[in-house]
Amino acid sequence: MKLIAANIFHIVKVIGKEEAWDHICIGSDFDGAVNYFEAYESVEDFDTLSEDLFAFLEAPQDIKEINMTSQKYIKLKFGLTSREIVEKIMYKSMDGFLKRYFTDQYLEIGENTNINDKT
């Protein structure tokens, strides 16, 4: 979990805004990982991954690059609860991506016509 959390918090730290949490998600094929994590071999283990991530966020262990108990770490959560973060990473961020880009208009001509789109 430390490796997963370190990667997640690095993304948030680099982006430096609460919106970073809306861009982080975990795909069922764990794209980008050279080898799968034995504890989370497939999408069937998503519930376990979700529970483990929540437990880690609630009682973080220090990671070499991030002092998980520091104010700096707490600020990276941008006031979001551990449950909200887990929901974004496991489901909501991907749902938002699909709603934004998987429309007929976008897929056919590359235009985003989502009313809620801010760009």
Nearest to 39 by CA among 53, 27, 25: 53
pLDDT in the model for residue 115: 47
Confidence of residue 16 (pLDDT cuts 50, 70, 90): very high
pLDDT > 70 fraction of the chain, expressed in percent and rounded: 73
Whether 119 has a pLDDT exceeding 50, the answer reads no
Residues 63-115 pLDDT 10s: 666 666 667 778 889 999 999 999 999 988 888 888 887 777 766 776 665 54
Q: What's the predicted TM-score (pTM) here?
A: 0.74
Whether 55 has a pLDDT exceeding 50, the answer reads yes
- End-to-end CA separation in angstroms for the chain: 34
